[in-house]
RNA sequence: GCGGGUGUGGCGGAAUUGGUAGACGCACUUGGUUUAGGUCCAAGCGCCGCAAGGCGUGGGGGUUCAAGUCCCUCCACCCGCACCA
C-alpha cells in the first residue's frame, strides 16, 4: 500500500501542477496503522471508527504529505456510506441484479475480525479457519454471470490496462464454445436414460471410446448406494481431490460401471466409467473421452485398455496415435476420417462449428457457450460489514426494507464471546416490524462481503456527501477514473467486481453510460519488500531475527548477541512471522515522509518490487539534506551574473524535460536519477546566484510531487509566493534544449574509437573531413580510403574499413 | 500443460526506441577534514591486461555501416491459472 498511495499522490500532485482539478482518494492504510493504534487493527468495528478516530487518522496523514478524503476501509463501517450502498442494493433487487439461492458455503463459526485475535493467544480458544463447517445456507448473489460476455468483450477496449490483468480476467471468465450431447444408455438406470456431456471438441466425436462421469455425478451417487465397489471408489476419489498438490500429481483413476451408452452418430456402444478427474462443477459433470486427441484421455485409455481411434490425421499422414495424443493448433488444417457431416480437410475451428450445426440439425446436441464465471455470493455471516437491508416476515416472506429506514445501522453493543455471527445473538436488533404488513418480523443478519464496499467507492468519491449513492452531474464530470494504481492481487476479484458494479449502477441510473468501464488506465505496482535474516537455533529449528538484532558487515549478517553469522534472504514479501516487516511509521519517525517517499520511488521501476534497505533510505535522506543545505545557501546568496549561467540553465531545461517525461511514463526511478544529477550539477556550478536561484526553484518544483515538504520549504525560503503545489509545472524551453555544439562519437567498423566536437549544423562534408582527419581513424586507415563513411547528423559517425 | 513476464557490473537499475552500454544510487577503494568513528568534501570503480589492446547486455545464430534494442533458436528464473472436457 505504501507504494501505490505514494505513486498515486505523485501523479495527482503532478497533474495539479499541470492545471488539472484532481480528485485523489487516499486510504488510511497508505502507511499502515501506527503502532499505538494496534488495538484498532484488532477490533475493527463501527464503535472504534468514531469521528474522533477518523479525525485522528486524518491528522496523522497530513505530516506524511498525503491527502485523505475517504477510504474504502472505513466506508465499510460508515453508515453514511453503507446506507447508500443499501439503497443501491434495493435498486439492484428491483432490477433483478441480486437474488437469493441455496448454496453450500464454508461456514466459519469465528468472526475473524475480532474473536480470532482475541482468543488465539493461548492456543485454545476459537480460531478462525480452525472449525470450518460446510453448510447449506440461503445466500444472496449478484448476477454477475449475466455479464460474462460483456465483461469479456469489453476487455479489448481497455488499452491502458496491463495485458496480464486482462488475460487473468479473461481466463477467470473462461468462455468456451461447445456442445452438449446426450449419450443414451442402453438400459435406463434409476430413471436416468441419458448422460449429457459437454465438449468443446465435438469434431473428435468419432474418436470417442468411453464416457467418464464425476464421482459427484447424480448417476455415480445412485450407483454408489447399491454397489459397495462404486462407493469405495467414489469415497477414495473425493478424498484425493481435496488438496491442490495431490491434484497436481494425482493419477487418473477410473471405475468401470458396467453401463453402456450408444454413440450418437455411429453404431458403437461406449463404456461408462467413473473418473476421479472429472469435475462436477464444470460442464455437466460428464465427458466423452477421446484418447487420440487428448493426452489425459489417452493416459486413461492406455491404463484401462480402452480403444484409441483417430478422428483425424495430419494432412498426408495416416499414422495412428501411439503414446502421444494428436493435438494440433485448432487453426491448423487436418484430415478427418469418416466425419458425420462429411468434412474432409478442415481446421478444427471450422470443423467444430460445422459439427455443432450438424448435431443441432439432427437434434442430437445443443450448441452452447459456457462461462466459468459464477455468480458472486455476497452474504457473510459476520458482524463487520454492511447489513443487507431486508426483513424476513412469516407471512410476506423476504421483504425489502423501506428506503426511508436506511441506513440500517449495525448495533454497537455486541459481544464476541461465542462463535457465530454476533448479530444473531443480539437481544433486540433483529426484532423489527415487517415493512409490508407491519407484523413482527426478523431482520436479515447476513452482512455484505467487503468487496461490495470497494466495488463502487470510486463512484461515491465523486459526491461523497450526497444523499443519493451518486449525483448525476458530479459522476458525469469526474468519471472515469483516469489512473488506477494498485497491486496485482486485485487483478481478478476487485477489478472484475468493480466493472460489474459500474454496469449495474448504470442500469439503476447511478452512473452514466460512459462510466461502465470505470477505470481508464490501470497500473499494477510492485511491493515494498525487506530482507529476511534467518538462522538455526540450538534445537536445530529455523529462527528469524529482527533487523535490529543483526549487524550487517562484510556483506554478511551477524547476530549482535553472539556474533554468529546468519543467512540473508533478500527481497522477501513482508510477513510478521519472518520478522521482516518494516513499520512505515518508524520510517517516518526516523527519516521523515519525504525520505520514505523519495526512496520508495527511486530505487526500482514502479512495476517491480522495491527492497527496503536502511542503506538506501540513509542515502535518500542524505541527499535530501544536501538539497536542503544547498537551497538555503543559495537563498541567502547575493545576485549577480556569470558566464556559467547559460550552461546551468541549459542543464535545468534538460532536467525539466527528462523529469516530465519520467513522471508521465511512470519512470519515477529514472526521473529521480535526473534530479540527483541536476542537484549535483547545481552544487558544483559556478553560475551566478541569480541563475542558481532559478535553478534551485525549478529543482524544488520538479521534486515537489515526490518530496512535498522539502519543496515547500525551499519555495518559501526563496521568497516565492503561494505554495509550490499550486505553482504551474515548469515547461522546458525548446531553444535551450538545442546545444550549439555536439560531441559526435566516431566508430570504426561499429566500435567506438574516438569523438569529435562539431558545431550543431556543420555540413556533412566537413564532418566527414574532420572524422577522416582524426588520429585514431588515420591510424586505422593506414593510408587507405575507407570503404564507407556513415554520418548520422547529431548522432554518430561510422567509418567502415 | 496453458497464459503473462524477466534475464545488463558485487547489488538496485539507466539507455531519447537501431546510434558513445553501464546514467543515478548502494557497496567497495583511496585521499582530505576529524582525537577517533560517523557526517562532510575530492577522486576511483564492467571484465582480462603492467600497458598497448582485447572482451563484454543469459547461450548460439542471423539482419545491418551500426544490435541490450529487430528476426530465428535454445536456456534459466519469476508470476498467474489449471484434471476446464
Here the ipTM equals 0.93
Distance CA A571, CA A610 (A): 8
| Amino acid whose CA is nearest the C1' of B84 | A282
Strands (E), A487-606: 522-524, 528-536, 542-545, 550-553, 556-559, 565-572
Residue ranges in A508-592 assigned as alpha helix (H): 584-591
Average pLDDT over residues A738-765: 84
- What is the sign of the dihedral through the CA atoms of A299, A305, A311 and A316? positive
Decide if pLDDT at A512 tops 90. yes
Question: What pLDDT sits at residue A714?
Answer: 94
Residue A758 CA: distances (Å) to CA of A40, A735, A774, A781, A790: 67, 18, 13, 22, 16
Q: How far is the CA of A692 from the C1' of B37 (A)?
A: 35
Using an 8 Å Cβ cutoff, are A535 and A543 in contact? yes
DSSP state of A70: B
Kindly indicate the confidence band of residue A381, based on its pLDDT and cuts at 50, 70 and 90. confident
Confidence of residue A250 (pLDDT cuts 50, 70, 90): low
A624: nearest Cα among A706, A725, A721, A730: A706
Å from A602 (CA) to B35 (C1')?
A: 38
A786 touches strand B (CB under 7 A): no
A202 to A118, A205, A269, A329, A349: CA distances (angstroms): 56, 5, 17, 15, 11
The pLDDT score that the predictor gives to residue A75 is 56
Name the nearest CA neighbour of A522 among A166, A5, A21: A166
Q: How many residues does chain A have?
A: 801
* Cis status of the peptide bond prior to A407, with omega within 30 of 0: yes
The three three-digit cell numbers of residue A506, written as one number = 448504470
Q: What is the distance in angstroms measured between the alpha-carbon CA of A658 and the sugar C1' of B16?
A: 9
- Beta-bridge partners for A551: A558
Q: What is the end-to-end Cα distance of chain A in Å, rounded? A: 57
DSSP string, A113-151: TTHHHHHTTTT-S--TTTS-EEEEEEEEEE-GGGGHHHH
- pLDDT score, position A710: 93
Å from the A659 CA to the B31 C1': 35
Rounded-to-integer distance, Cα A604 and Cα A159, Å: 25
pLDDT digits 0-9 by tens, A724-733: 988 999 999 9
Asked if residue A227 has pLDDT above 50, the reply is yes
Q: Which residues in range 400-459 of chain A are in contact with strand B, contact meaning CB within 7 A of any of its atoms?
A: none
Cell numbers describing residue A547: 533487523
- The pLDDT, as a whole number, for residue A72 is 46
- Is the pLDDT assigned to residue A415 strictly greater than 60? yes
pLDDT value of position A52: 59
Distance of C1' in B1 from CA in A529, Å:
32
What nine digits make up the cell of A563? 556474533
A793 touches strand B (CB under 7 A): no
Give the dihedral of Cα atoms A526, A527, A528, A534; nearest 10 deg: -120
Rounded to 5°, the CA angle A519-A523-A524 comes to 120
Number of Cβ within 10 Å of residue A464's Cβ equals: 17
Tell me which residues from 54 to 113 on chain A have a beta carbon below 7 angstroms from nucleic acid strand B.
none
pLDDT for the residue numbered A562: 77
Å separating the CA of residue A604 from the C1' of nucleotide B4? 21
pLDDT tens digit sequence for A647-675: 899 999 999 999 999 999 899 999 999 99
**What pLDDT sits at residue A61?**
52
Percent of chain A at pLDDT above 70? Answer: 87
Q: What letters, b where the CB count within 10 A reaches 16 and e where it falls short, cover A709-734? A: bbbbbbbebbebeeebbebebbebee
Q: What is the pLDDT of residue A111?
A: 54
Region A117-127: what's the mean pLDDT? 44
- SS3 state of residue A57: helix
State the nearest residue by CA to the C1' of B27.
Answer: A555
CA→C1' distance for A660 and B67 (Å): 29
Question: How far, in Å, CA of A486 to CA of A509, rounded?
Answer: 28
Query: In chain B, which nucleotides are within 7 Å of a protein Cβ?
Result: 3-5, 12-15, 19-21, 23-27, 39-42, 55, 65-67, 79-85
Residue A529, sorted as left (phi over 0), alpha (psi -120 to 50) or beta, turns out to be beta
Q: Is the CB of A164 within 7 Å of strand B?
A: yes
For the cut 90, the answer to whether the pLDDT of residue A210 exceeds it is yes
CB atoms within 10 A of CB A324: 8
Cell readout for A157 is 477496449
Please tell me the predicted confidence (pLDDT) of residue A35.
34
Please give the pLDDT value at position A603: 84
Instruction: Output the CA torsion A132→A137→A142→A143 (10° steps).
Output: 120
Q: Higher-confidence residue: A627 or A532?
A: A627
What is the average pLDDT score of chain A? 83
| Highest mean pLDDT out of A27-36, A512-521, A775-784 | A512-521
Model confidence pLDDT, tens digit, residues A144-180: 999 999 999 999 888 889 888 998 999 999 998 899 9
Judge whether residue A702 contacts strand B, using its CB and a 7 Å cut-off.
no
Q: What is the pLDDT of residue A242?
A: 45
pLDDT of residue A108: 67
Residues 182-241 of A with CB under 7 A from strand B: 198-201, 214, 240-241
Q: Which of residues 559-598 of A touch strand B (CB under 7 A)?
A: none
Does strand B come within 7 Å of the CB of A178? yes
Calpha distance A393→A432 (Å, rounded): 10
Q: What is the pLDDT of residue A192?
A: 85
CA of A612 to C1' of B30 (A): 30
Higher pLDDT: A495 or A486? It is A495
* Residue A342 Cβ under 7 A from any strand B atom: no
Q: How many CB atoms lie within 10 A of CB A198?
A: 21
Amino acid at each position: 500500500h505504501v507504494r501505490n498511495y505514494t505513486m498515486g499522490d505523485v501523479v495527482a500532485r503532478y497533474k495539479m501542477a499541470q492545471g488539472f482539478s484532481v480528485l485523489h482518494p487516499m486510504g488510511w492504510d497508505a502507511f499502515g496503522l501506527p503502532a499505538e493504534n494496534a488495538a484498532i487493527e484488532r477490533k475493527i468495528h463501527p464503535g472504534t471508527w468514531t469521528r474522533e478516530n477518523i479525525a485522528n487518522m486524518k491528522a496523522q496523514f497530513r505530516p506524511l504529505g498525503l491527502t485523505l478524503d475517504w477510504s474504502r476501509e472505513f466506508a465499510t463501517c460508515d453508515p453514511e456510506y453503507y446506507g447508500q450502498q443499501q439503497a443501491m442494493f434495493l435498486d439492484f433487487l428491483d432490477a433483478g441484479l441480486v437474488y437469493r439461492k441455496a448454496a453450500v458455503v464454508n461456514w466459519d463459526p469465528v468472526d475473524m475480525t475480532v474473536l480470532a485475535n482475541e482468543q488465539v493467544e493461548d492456543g485454545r480458544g476459537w480460531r478462525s479457519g480452525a472449525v470450518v463447517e460446510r453448510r447449506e445456507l440461503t445466500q444472496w448473489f449478484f448476477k454477475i454471470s449475466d455479464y460474462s460476455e460483456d465483461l469479456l468483450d469489453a476487455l479489448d477496449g481497455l488499452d491502458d490496462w496491463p495485458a496480464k490483468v486482462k488475460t487473468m480476467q479473461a481466463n477467470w471468465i473462461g468462455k468456451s464454445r461447445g456442445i452438449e450431447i446426450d449419450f443414451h444408455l442402453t438400459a435406463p438406470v434409476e430413471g436416468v436414460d441419458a448422460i449429457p456431456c459437454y465438449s468443446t471438441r465435438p469434431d473428435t466425436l468419432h474418436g470417442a471410446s468411453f464416457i467418464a462421469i464425476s464421482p459427484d455425478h447424480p448417476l455415480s451417487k445412485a450407483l454408489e448406494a447399491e454397489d459397495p465397489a462404486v462407493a469405495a471408489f467414489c469415497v477414495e476419489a473425493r478424498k484425493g481431490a481435496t488438496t491442490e498438490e495431490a491434484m497436481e500429481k494425482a493419477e487418473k483413476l477410473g471405475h468401470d460401471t458396467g453401463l453402456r451408452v450408444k454413440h450418437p452418430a455411429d453404431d458403437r456402444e461406449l463404456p461408462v466409467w467413473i473418473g476421479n478427474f472429472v469435475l462436477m462443477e464444470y460442464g455437466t459433470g460428464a465427458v466423452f473421452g477421446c484418447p487420440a486427441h487428448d493426452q489425459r484421455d489417452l493416459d486413461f485409455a492406455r491404463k484401462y485398455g480402452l480403444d484409441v481411434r483417430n478422428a483425424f490425421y495430419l494432412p498426408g499422414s495416416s499414422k495412428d496415435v501411439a503414446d502421444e495424443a494428436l493435438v494440433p493448433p485448432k487453426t491448423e488444417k487436418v484430415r478427418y476420417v469418416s466425419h458425420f457431416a462429411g468434412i474432409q480437410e478442415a481446421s478444427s475451428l471450422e470443423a467444430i462449428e460445422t459439427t455443432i450445426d450438424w448435431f443441432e440439425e439432427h437434434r442430437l446436441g445443443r450448441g452452447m457457450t459456457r462461462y466459468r464465471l459464477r455468480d458472486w455470493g455476497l452474504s457473510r455471516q459476520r458482524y463487520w460489514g454492511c447489513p443487507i437491508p431486508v426483513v424476513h416476515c412469516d407471512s410476506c416472506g423476504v421483504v425489502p426494507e423501506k428506503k426511508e429506514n436506511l441506513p440500517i445501522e449495525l448495533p454497537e453493543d455486541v459481544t464476541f464471546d461465542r462463535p457465530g455471527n454476533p448479530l444473531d445473538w443480539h437481544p433486540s436488533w433483529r426484532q423489527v416490524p415487517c415493512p409490508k404488513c407491519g407484523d413482527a418480523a426478523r431482520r436479515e443478519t447476513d452482512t455484505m462481503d467487503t468487496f461490495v464496499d470497494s466495488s463502487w467507492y470510486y463512484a461515491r468519491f465523486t459526491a461523497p456527501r450526497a444523499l443519493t449513492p451518486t449525483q448525476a452531474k458530479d459522476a458525469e464530470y469526474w468519471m472515469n477514473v483516469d489512473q488506477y494504481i494498485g497491486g496485482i492481487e486485485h487483478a481478478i476479484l476487485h477489478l472484475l467486481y468493480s466493472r460489474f458494479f459500474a454496469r449495474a449502477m448504470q442500469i439503476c441510473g447511478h452512473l452514466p453510460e460512459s462510466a461502465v468501464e470505470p477505470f481508464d488506465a490501470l497500473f499494477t505496482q510492485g511491493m515494498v519488500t525487506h530482507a529476511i535474516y534467518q538462522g538455526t537455533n540450538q534445537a536445530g529449528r529455523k529462527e528469524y531475527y529482527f533487523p535490529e538484532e543483526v549487524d550487517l558487515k562484510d556483506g554478511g549478517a551477524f547476530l549482535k548477541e553472539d556474533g554468529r553469522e546468519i543467512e540473508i534472504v533478500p527481497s522477501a514479501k513482508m510477513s510478521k512471522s519472518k520478522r521482516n516487516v518494516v513499520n512505515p511509521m518508524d520510517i517516518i519517525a526516523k527519516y521523515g515522509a519525504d525520505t520514505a517517499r523519495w526512496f520508495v520511488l527511486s530505487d526500482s521501476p514502479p512495476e517491480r518490487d522495491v527492497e527496503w534497505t536502511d542503506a538506501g533510505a540513509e542515502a535518500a535522506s542524505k541527499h535530501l539534506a544536501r538539497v536542503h543545505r544547498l537551497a538555503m545557501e543559495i537563498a541567502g546568496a547575493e545576485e549577480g551574473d556569470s558566464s556559467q549561467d547559460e550552461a546551468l540553465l541549459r542543464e535545468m531545461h534538460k532536467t525539466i524535460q527528462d523529469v516530465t517525461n519520467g513522471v508521465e511514463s511512470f519512470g519515477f526511478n529514472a526521473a529521480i536519477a535526473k534530479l540527483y544529477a541536476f542537484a549535483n550539477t547545481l552544487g558544483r556550478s559556478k553560475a551566478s546566484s541569480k541563475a542558481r536561484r532559478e535553478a534551485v526553484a525549478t529543482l524544488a518544483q520538479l521534486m515537489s510531487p515526490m518530496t512535498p515538504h522539502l519543496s515547500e520549504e525551499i519555495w518559501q525560503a526563496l521568497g516565492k509566493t503561494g505554495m509550490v503545489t499550486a505553482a504551474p509545472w515548469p515547461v522546458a524551453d525548446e531553444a535551450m534544449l538545442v546545444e550549439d555544439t555536439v560531441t559526435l562519437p566516431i566508430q570504426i567498423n561499429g566500435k567506438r574509437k574516438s569523438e569529435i566536437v562539431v558545431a550543431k549544423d556543420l555540413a556533412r562534408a566537413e564532418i566527414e573531413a574532420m572524422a577522416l582527419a582524426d588520429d585514431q581513424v588515420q591510424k586505422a586507415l593506414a593510408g587507405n580510403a575507407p570503404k564507407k563513411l556513415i554520418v548520422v547528423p547529431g548522432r554518430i559517425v561510422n567509418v567502415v574499413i
